[in-house]
Structure 1
Amino acid sequence: MSVSGTFDCVTKSPMGDQKSVVTIVDNGDGTFSGTNAGAMGGMDLEDGKVDGNTLTWTMNMTVPMPMKLEGTATVDGDTLTGSVNAGAFGTMAMTGVRQG
C-alpha cells in the first residue's frame, strides 16, 4: 500500500481541532512532497522522508504566526496517525483518513 494519497486530517491544536486536507506524493526514492490545506491556508510539506510506512516532514506556518512545524505520521491502510511538534506550543496529535 502506497503512502501516497489525500487524507482528511484533524490536528488537536491549542486553538481547538484544526481540520485540513493533507496530500502526499511519494517520489519513489525515499522522499515525498505534498501539501496541508486548511482553514488558515495551505502549507507545503517540506523535507519529506519515507521510511517504510512512516513519514517525517517540516512545514513553515505563517498564520497566525511564523513557526516551523515538524510532523511525523504512520500510514496504515487508509489511516494516518501522527503528531505535529509546534515548538513552545508542544506536540499536537494528528489523525487522518484517506479520501476515496
Structure 2
Amino acid sequence: MSVEGIWNIVIATPIGQQQAVLRLFSEGGALRGVATGEAEEVPLSDLTLQAADRLTWRQSITRPMRLHLSFDVAVHGDELTGTAKAGRLPATKVTGRRDTAA
C-alpha cells in the first residue's frame, strides 16, 4: 500500500483542533514528507513506514507555539488514525483523510 499523496489531518489538542496538510512522496527511493499548517511549512524527519500500515515521523513547529512533535498513525486505505505527542504533554488524537482529488 502506498501512503504517498496529500493528507488532510486534524490534531485534537488542549487548545482546540489544529489542521495541517501532509505531502508524502518518494525521493531517491526514500519516503519523504512536508507538513503545512498555521502559515508554516516544515519537513518531516525520521519518517518511517512499518508493516505497510504504520507510519511514524517527527516534526518541529513554531505555531501556535514552539513544539517538537512525534506522530504514530495507522493507515487504512484513504484514512489514518493515531496519536501525536509533544514532549511531556499527553498524547493527542490524530485523524486524517487522503485528498483523492489531488
TM-score (norm 1): 0.85
Q: 3-state DSSP class of the match of 2:49?
A: strand
After superposition, residues 24-43 of structure 1 pair within 5 angstroms as 24-26=24-26, 32-43=31-42
What letter corresponds to residue 45 of structure 2 in structure 1? E
Distance in 2 (CA, whole Å) between partners of 1:84 and 1:28 is 27
State the SS of the aligned residue for 1:95: strand
Unaligned 5+ runs, structure 2: none
CA drift at 1:84: 0.6
Letter in 2 for 1:88: R
- Matched AA of 1:78: D
What is the aligned partner in structure 2 of residue 81 from structure 1?
81
Q: 1:12–1:93: 8 Å Cα contact kept in structure 2?
A: yes
Equivalent residue, structure 1, for 2:48: 49
TM-score where L is the length of structure 2: 0.84
Cα contact 1:3–1:26 (8 A) shared by 2: no
Aligned partners of 1:96 and 1:9: how far apart in 2?
4
Deviation at 1:39, TM superposition (A): 2.1
Q: How far is 1:28 from its partner? A: 8.4
Matched-pair identity in %? 32
**How many residues matched?**
99
Give the 3-state SS of the residue equivalent to 1:88 in structure 2: coil
> Structure 1 67/82 Cα, relative in aligned 2: closer, same or farther at 3 Å?
same
Deviation at 1:56, TM superposition (A): 0.9
Is 2:30 aligned against 1:23?
A: no
* Contact residue 81 and residue 95 of structure 1 kept, 8 A: yes
Gap runs ≥5 in structure 1 = none
Give the distance between the partners of 2:27 and 2:77, measured in 1 at CA: 19
